[in-house]
Structure 1
Amino acid sequence: MLGKLAGWNDTIVALATANGVGAIGVIRLSGDLAWSIANNLFPSKDLLQQKSHTLHVGFLKYNDQLIDEVVVSLFKGPRSYTGEDVVELSCHGSPYIQQNIIDLCIEAGARLAKPGEFTQRAFLNGKMDLTQAEAVADLIASNTEAARKTALQNMRGGFSVVLKALRDQLLSFSALIELELDFSQEDVEFADRTQLNLLLQEAGIKVSQLVQSFQLGNVIKNGVQVAIIGKPNAGKSTLLNALLNENRAIVSDIAGTTRDTIEETLNIDGIIFRLIDTAGIRDNTADEIESIGVEKSLEKMRQADLVVYLFDIATETVEAIREKAAEFQQQGFQYLLVANKSDQVNESVKKNFETIGNITFIAAKQVNNIEALKQRLVEKVVSGDLHTEDTVVTNARHVASLREVEKSLLEIRNGLQMNIPGDLLALDIRRCLHYLGEITGEITNEDQLDYIFSKFCIGK
């Protein structure tokens, strides 16, 4: 944990609600001067004599000039969000009034808060660890039920509890092993190697599960980019419209109608899919504009998390689609093969295409089997059921450190098997503890904290 940072003792102020006109705006103060600054602007009563966790209605005034009627919320540290003295002024939602109040607070001795500084102070004052602080930002940014549940689970300490239990057990073993070094002449063992090896096995399994959960966590947090590609007139734009249940893309029988990519988002079972309708891909075209569109389609395909290859089953051959599937596999693409216009062919034709494997048959124009395709999209990116109550890693910083923890656990186990000296074993354990501490914030630095909290909004 860090010591006191520059500006740590300052009283900070910021708008805690969104910018713009609204019914109510909330201005937050935190620091030693918070209550006195609010008291100087609130002549209705002496706030310094009031109890913590109380609300007070009255007028804000400055030099006998009426500013606004407000509700003042008082929180005495450490029983506050930041762990410091906190005041929240609920004023009317005029941007002019809000800025006027903030300016008066600054004139009285506060300074404007940096992005995420309230939550940063909560972390530095031990109100939450770093994973919980980062979950606050994830909760604010959540735009699906799955994202909300995952962020709330981590904010309540679900991830932290798992890591803390492992860290405490490793610390205990590390202390016993280092104690052995003080009695090296007596040749004694305080740490039970068998029990340590069992702990390392269980920890390795748990950490591996957390690392693997990042694939799901990344999908929940950031969504999935899906490129819908295929030849001209395969029905890509019709499919986009069917998935969205609206006429978003222009549809016609003229090949090459879609010249540029069209991007829309679709929420399926709590997962955000960013759908990209691309220009039809064909090798030879004399149209320069269409050629540019084709190149952009190929670029989007390379950038996508998932490729939906749509083809007209009435005009394509099994051999051609089999070759396309082999091409996607060779290039390492995640893909779905979708046979459009399946209402125009008989069952024997469908059975021939089924030999390729994993083909979804639809009729986009008639909106047939679109729900089945949606479920295939979810199944492709989520292994099994989506249990957001479980501990799920959603942060790339966390998974990078967890991979180092995984390596360290393996090195400790190898060291035990090789009967390496206790001082080297203790060194490996300390390395593992270091990476665990990086995740939760026991080990960090000012630059890292500034980077993490700079991504927060100002009033949080």
Structure 2
Amino acid sequence: MTEQKDTICAISTPPGVGGIAVIRVSGDDAIAITDTLWRGKRLADAASHSVHYGSIVDAQGDVVDDCVAAVFRAPKSFTGENVVELSVHGSVYVQKAVVGLLVEAGARLAEHGEFTRRAFAAGKMDLAQAEGVADLIASRSRAAHDIAIKQMKGGFSRRLAAMHDNLLELASLLELELDFSEEDVEFASRQKLHAQAVELRDEIHRLAASFDSGNAIKEGIPVAIIGPTNVGKSSLLNALVGDDRAIVSDIHGTTRDLIEDTVNIGDFTFRFIDTAGIRNTDDRIEQLGIDRSRQAIGRATILLHVIDAANPQKADWLDSIADNQHLVAVINKTDVASSQQAADMIPAGTTTVEVSAKTSAGIDTLRDTLTGIAQSLLTDPGDIIVTNARHRQALLNALLPIERVITGLTSNLSGDFIAQDLREVLHHLGSITGTVTTTEILTTIFSRFCIGK
């Protein structure tokens, strides 16, 4: 990614036709360059955070479009530089023409994420906050939006800063211990230092462990619809998503591959996976689908075990459910049969919902059950949840040296060795916010942004 501080421009709104499109210009010469194609009040004379109506004209003086220009002067802008945002009509031609004129006047096309990278370079936000911006843009549910907003506003960064300060305190006390090792002075007992290190270790572990739930909320909570053939799994999928997404047939083995669909229910996005019916079969193609069904069981956060009220069957896969998975027994076809026989086969304590996928009876109750489970993934809604795989890896990398710190404090290891491990913990946590980073890391992160952001 280019590091020079020239003036950049890009369309910031989604591609295609719309009522309005926003073209962003940022850099020392942003206002001067825009003025060369602007007809209206001179933007060079405009106050910061002011909005002006005028026209964009080409080299011949012909009007390309009427538009509104918003002026933001450095350092009080998103990037910390002079910024002009042009709101033009959403014609594809107009958008391209205005960008072309800006480039002819001396700006260059921005690279992916370059506006946000400049904001990071100017100290407007740290790296975790910048990634929160990308997550906010990509959020598809209120829950994912709320987590992204908290990260963008610095919630995660403040938690990391507090941990950083505690680590520095530990390191400074150990340094004092080394400096005055020959004198009878105790600045802090090893027991107290040990307790602080354990508290930090537990916090790092909690944050890393929150990734599974956070990533599920961000990407869509995976829900596998599991059961034997012909129990109404595909009908249930269609009822949940409100569309004929899956083929419904009385023929056993109709669904031979995984069918996925994403839908928002309440504040959450769910990724429903309709699986092939699990049964013994000699059909090689169907068996491949069944194998994939068993793999889907392992990947799902929520398992909907569909049971035919008229013909309940035992499930041999129930023993493979992990502790962090949520099982819901869904007794289907209650419009034609009693649920009692099926209910007797469900393990005690299992959440159970009775439905008729055909008539949609009980579907709202099932949706409420799903959102209730999703809400439980948030644990404490006010707490920090990690959704970024890079952050999780950095936290996991920090766990090993903090464990060595704890062991060293317990075994009265020399303070200089412990301090070295503390510096390693600080390094890994610093990589999350960008206090420790490289050009390669920055390029990778910002390349995932859209060009206009």
User: Above 0.5 in TM-score?
Assistant: yes
1:435 is displaced (CA, Å) by 0.9
Larger displacement relative to structure 2 (194-203 or 106-115): 194-203
Q: Cα–Cα, structure 1 residues 375 and 278, in superposed 2: closer, same or farther, change >3 Å? A: same
Is residue 278–residue 293 contact of structure 2 (8 Å, CA) maintained in 1?
no
Partner in structure 1 of residue 78 of structure 2:
81
Q: Deviation per CA, 1:157-198, whole angstroms, max 9, x where unpaired?
A: 111111101112322332443355455565755556454334
Please give the residue correspondences for 1:441-460 in structure 2 after superposition, counting only pairs within 5 Å. Answer: 441-460=434-453
Equivalent residue for 2:53, pick from 53, 57, 65: 57
Q: Does 1:413 align with 2:406?
A: yes
Partner in structure 2 of residue 398 of structure 1:
391
Count of aligned residue pairs for this structure pair? 448
Q: Cα–Cα, structure 1 residues 365 and 419, in superposed 2: closer, same or farther, change >3 Å? A: same
Is residue 301–residue 307 contact of structure 1 (8 Å, CA) maintained in 2?
no
Please give the residue correspondences for 1:201-212 in structure 2 after superposition, counting only pairs within 5 Å. Answer: 201-212=198-209
AA matched with 2:106: G
Partner in structure 1 of residue 211 of structure 2:
214
Partner in structure 2 of residue 94 of structure 1:
91
1:365 is displaced (CA, Å) by 2.5
Partner in structure 2 of residue 316 of structure 1:
312
Q: Deviation per CA, 1:97-155, whole angstroms, max 9, x where unpaired?
A: 11111112112222111111100111111100111000000000011010111110111
Q: Deviation per CA, 1:37-80, whole angstroms, max 9, x where unpaired?
A: 01222243332232211112112223323222221111111111
CA RMSD of aligned residues (A): 2.8
| Separation of aligned partners in 1, 2:256 and 2:173 | 68
AA matched with 2:131: E
Q: Cα–Cα, structure 1 residues 344 and 359, in superposed 2: closer, same or farther, change >3 Å? A: farther
Is residue 23–residue 92 contact of structure 1 (8 Å, CA) maintained in 2?
yes
Is residue 194–residue 410 contact of structure 2 (8 Å, CA) maintained in 1?
no
Is residue 437–residue 443 contact of structure 1 (8 Å, CA) maintained in 2?
yes
* Residue identity (%): 44
AA matched with 1:266: V
Partner in structure 1 of residue 318 of structure 2:
325
Q: Does 1:170 align with 2:163?
A: no
Is residue 229–residue 236 contact of structure 1 (8 Å, CA) maintained in 2?
yes
Please give the residue correspondences for 1:52-451 in structure 2 after superposition, counting only pairs within 5 Å. Answer: 52-63=48-59, 64-182=61-179, 186=183, 188-190=185-187, 193-284=190-281, 291-303=284-296, 304-305=299-300, 306-317=302-313, 320-321=314-315, 323-326=316-319, 328-329=320-321, 335-342=327-334, 344-346=336-338, 349-350=341-342, 352-355=344-347, 358=350, 360=352, 361-378=354-371, 383=376, 387-451=380-444
| Separation of aligned partners in 2, 1:356 and 1:189 | 57
User: Gaps spanning 5+ residues in structure 2: where?
Assistant: none
Q: Cα–Cα, structure 1 residues 182 and 43, in superposed 2: closer, same or farther, change >3 Å? A: farther
| Separation of aligned partners in 2, 1:89 and 1:72 | 5
Look up the SS of the partner of 1:88 in the other structure: strand
Larger displacement relative to structure 2 (222-231 or 100-109): 222-231
Q: Does 1:16 align with 2:9?
A: no
1:381 is displaced (CA, Å) by 5.6
1:330 is displaced (CA, Å) by 9.0
| Separation of aligned partners in 2, 1:364 and 1:407 | 50
User: Gaps spanning 5+ residues in structure 1: where?
Assistant: none
Is residue 339–residue 359 contact of structure 1 (8 Å, CA) maintained in 2?
no
Look up the SS of the partner of 2:345 in the other structure: helix
AA matched with 1:22: G
Q: Does 1:45 align with 2:45?
A: no
Is residue 28–residue 88 contact of structure 1 (8 Å, CA) maintained in 2?
yes
| Separation of aligned partners in 2, 1:404 and 1:170 | 15
1:359 is displaced (CA, Å) by 6.0
Is residue 227–residue 275 contact of structure 1 (8 Å, CA) maintained in 2?
yes
Look up the SS of the partner of 2:358 in the other structure: helix
Q: Cα–Cα, structure 1 residues 356 and 71, in superposed 2: closer, same or farther, change >3 Å? A: same
1:332 is displaced (CA, Å) by 10
| Separation of aligned partners in 2, 1:204 and 1:93 | 52
AA matched with 1:432: V
1:293 is displaced (CA, Å) by 4.6
1:445 is displaced (CA, Å) by 0.4
Look up the SS of the partner of 1:424 in the other structure: helix
Q: Cα–Cα, structure 1 residues 57 and 299, in superposed 2: closer, same or farther, change >3 Å? A: same
Q: Deviation per CA, 1:289-311, whole angstroms, max 9, x where unpaired?
A: xx525523432541441443323
Look up the SS of the partner of 1:365 in the other structure: coil
1:409 is displaced (CA, Å) by 2.4
Q: Cα–Cα, structure 1 residues 177 and 370, in superposed 2: closer, same or farther, change >3 Å? A: same
AA matched with 1:391: I
| Separation of aligned partners in 2, 1:194 and 1:255 | 65
AA matched with 2:356: A
Look up the SS of the partner of 2:210 in the other structure: helix
| Separation of aligned partners in 2, 1:312 and 1:230 | 9
